[in-house]
Amino acid sequence: MNYISKYQAEAKQFLKVCHKLATNMYVTGYGGNCAWRLEPDVVMITPTMMNKGDIQMEDLVFLNLKGDTIEGTRRPTGEKFMYLKFFQERPDIKSVLHCHAPNVGAFAIMEGENWLMKPFYPETTHEVGPVPVVPYAEPITQKLADEFSPFLQKYNSFLMENHGLVTMRPEGIDYTMMNVELLEMTAYSILQALSTGQKLKTLTVEAVRDLDNVMQKRSCPYFGAPGMYKSLVDIWFPK
């Protein structure tokens, strides 16, 4: 099977996201990676040791869920263990993106309260969801992948301690990229507000409950594994 031909449209979109990550400096050097599940056992993924701005069609790699390369001449990202875990344990997820967006990344090295677990803006509240901190572990290891276990069924975005962001969606990679951009601007606004020394104002429980109407109108899935939550209030204000 020639997957690069079969999924040429998706590959072009994938490359567009890779290049946009580099242009926006959400990734630098060889950092960051992304993956898109195209079939139940076929994943398109970025190669290792390449700047995302330089990746071309011939550099893309295709894996099965065992981690075997089924098409492509390059080695897949060293973070493949992380992606395999995501796709194996969250069959609803189609695309995943890991990057080092600078404002989001600031929260990965902050001690104290995790402000990304609070609802500030409607869009971030119903499109991205809370972003818990996943404990630090050595990159490109199974241990890092395993650190996601307590969080993976409950959330769709994750702040890797002293590392960066992972976010995932049940849609294509373009939707995942939009969530990264949305979260990055939210993080920037939070940092700007914190710099004033003033108290930050979150959405109320009632305001978050009202956003369930937006979820229904737009047929948006709730965060976490299917069936995990029935309301945004359950997600943002757990009892």
Tell me the two tokens of residue 75.
């080695």
pLDDT value of position 185: 98
Euclidean distance between the first and the last CA atom of the chain, given in angstroms as a whole number: 49
pLDDT value of position 64: 98
- Domain ranges for the chain: 3-236
Distances, alpha carbon 106 to alpha carbons 18, 35, 90, 163, 190, in Å: 22, 24, 27, 10, 11
Per residue in 180-191, pLDDT (tens digit) is 999 999 999 999
Tell me the two tokens of residue 176.
């995942």
Going by pLDDT thresholds of 50, 70 and 90, the confidence category of residue 25 is very high
Per residue in 76-116, pLDDT (tens digit) is 999 999 999 999 999 999 999 999 999 999 999 999 999 99
pLDDT value of position 97: 98
In 3D, which of 134, 132, 119, 153 has the Cα closest to residue 232? Answer: 119
Q: Report the amino acid identity of residue 38.
A: L
Task: Give the pLDDT mean for 192-207.
Answer: 97
Per residue in 223-236, pLDDT (tens digit) is 999 999 999 999 99
Q: Could you confirm whether domain 3-236 is CATH 3.40.50.1820? A: no
Going by pLDDT thresholds of 50, 70 and 90, the confidence category of residue 239 is confident
pLDDT value of position 165: 98
In 3D, which of 29, 164, 176, 15 has the Cα closest to residue 99? Answer: 164
Q: Is the pLDDT of residue 1 over 80?
A: no
- CA–CA dist 139, 111 (Å, integer): 21
What is the percent of the chain with per-residue pLDDT over 70, rounded to a whole number?
100
This prediction's pTM: 0.95
Tell me the two tokens of residue 169.
């969606």
